[in-house]
Structure formats: structure tokens, C-alpha cells
Amino acid sequence: MAESFGADAERYDRARPRYPQAMVDRIVATSPGRDVLDVGCGTGIAARQFQAAGCTVLGVDVDARMAEFARRRGLDVEVAAFEAWDPAGREFDAVVSGQTWHWVDPAAGAAKAAQALRPGGRLAVFWNAAEPPPELAESFVEIYLPVLPDSPAARRPTMSAVDGYSVMGDMAADGIRGTSAFGEPEQWRFDWEQTYTRDEWLDHVPTTGLHTRLPPAQLQEVLTGTGAAVDAFGGSFTMRYTALVVTALRVGAS
């Protein structure tokens, strides 16, 4: 699944949410400099935000299609799985990873990040956890029950999206602790919102991991039902996002 997102890189770049500026600013302000490595950079969504904040960014991504799109948007990208990527003696002030670290082995990824960071450099991995309005969330579950009854989207959640991502954050923190190359991991949270029209949300849905490999007929059934649900809700809705960050500083010698 990790390599399925490049099937429509243009849509992915257009429809995926960005990250709150306060998060970017805090990572930059608490790093020793502005040389940034973006792990799993995809089309460069987060990387361009760090570039706009004055950083020089190198991307690494396993998907050559995503990397090529990012290059067309002005990002320098190397194609590799991060665990196998060679820093070649280069050091960075920050290693960041947006919506990607759960595809990286947490122990091997933290060790590679330590190798790529100069002392005092910051590792910051982050996710956007999304919470639609409760009434709309219930409608979405009803859409998936007949189409994908065994999928997570067809089950009423037993925890919030933030709690779900916190589980991945805990795994990331454990991987960081296991290297002994970092100080104690911290968790930062940034709450923000984005309003979607019906068409904007239908543009977004096919870019998520549950949908990137669906047969066209099933995807169309999901999109038809989702469009009707958003129409019934008034044609638009506000998604509540929480950007969850797990971060730690590199200690000791390189």
C-alpha cells in the first residue's frame, strides 16, 4: 500500500491537507539550522512548507512517480526506502516525516535519522488526525457497510482519530528511545480546521490508503454514496484536524 499513492500523484498533491504553519514554525525554530531531510516526502507537500519557511530540503521517497512530481515542483528527491537510503556523509539540522513514518520500521528509521542528523538536530515525525462531524461520520460508516464490510471504514470507531494516531506515535517514540541517540521524545499537538465542499472531499477520498487500490466500480460506489452524504449535510463540512508530532533531539557525536 505504501507504494500505491503515486498512482495519481497530481490528485494526491492537490487534495491532501497541508500542515499547520505553527507546527512548521516550531520545528524550524527549535532546530539548529535549516537543512532539512524529508522522509517519505511524496509529492513534496510538507517539503514545500519547509522551503517556504526558509529551509533547504532534500526529499527521500520509495515511489519514483511521487519523486518525479516533487522534482517538477522544485524539490531535490532521492528514490529509496529510508531504511536503505545512504546519507553519504551528509548531515541535516532536522529530519521530518509527514503522514509517512508508519510505513518506516520505527527502530531502523530512528537509527537512520540519527545517522543523518548533526548533534542537536531534530527528528520530527507527524500525522494529521481527522475528525469529521459526528453525524457525517455515521453516514460514512453506512456507505462502507455494503461496499467494504470488512474494512475499518465500515466499523464505528472505538477511539478517536487522535488516539489512533497516538498509537503510531508511541511506536515511533519507542523506536527513538531504542537508539540511545536521542533525548526523551516529546509529543506536540496542533489543532486546526479545514472546510471541504462536496467536490473537494470527493477529490480527497481516492488519495487515502483504503481507496488507492480499490477496483474502479467499488471506488465509484463509495464516491457516489459519499457525495450524497455530503449533499444531505448541506454540501460542505468542516473537518477538525489535529497535527500530532513526535519529536526528539539528537544527542552526542555523529
At 202 the pLDDT is 96
* Helices 134-147 and 216-232: angle between axes, nearest 10 degrees: 150
Q: Which ranges of 117-160 does DSSP label H, i.e. alpha helix?
A: 134-147
Specify the range with the lowest mean pLDDT, choosing from 46-55, 86-95, 155-164: 155-164
Residue pair 250/123 in contact (Cβ under 8 Å)? The answer is: yes
Question: pLDDT of 165-217, one tens digit each?
Answer: 999 999 999 999 999 999 999 999 999 999 999 999 999 999 987 777 778 89
Q: Which residues pair with 35 in a beta bridge?
A: 56
Q: Which residues pair with 117 in a beta bridge?
A: 92
Cell of 102: 508508519
Which whole number is the average pLDDT over 48-54?
98
Nearest alpha-carbon partner for 186 in 62, 23, 48: 23
At 253 the pLDDT is 57
Give the start-to-end residue ranges of the domains of the chain. 5-131+159-194+242-249
Report the chain's C-alpha Rg in angstroms.
19
Question: Is the pLDDT at 254 greater than 60, yes or no?
Answer: no
At 52 the pLDDT is 98
Residue pair 95/47 in contact (Cβ under 8 Å)? The answer is: no
Residue 13: pLDDT band with limits 50, 70, 90: very high
Longest dimension (CA), the chain: 58
CATH class of this structure's domain 5-131+159-194+242-249: alpha beta
Question: Is the pLDDT at 3 greater than 70, yes or no?
Answer: no
Q: Return d(Cα 229, Cα 104) in angstroms, integer.
A: 35
Question: pLDDT of 100-157, one tens digit each?
Answer: 999 999 999 999 999 999 999 999 999 999 999 999 999 999 998 988 888 888 788 8
At 126 the pLDDT is 98
What is the number of other CB atoms lying within 10 angstroms of the CB of residue 59? Answer: 24
Specify the range with the lowest mean pLDDT, choosing from 13-22, 145-154, 228-237: 145-154
Residues 6+ apart with CB under 8 A from 249: 120, 121, 122, 123, 182, 183
Q: Return d(Cα 230, Cα 227) in angstroms, integer.
A: 5
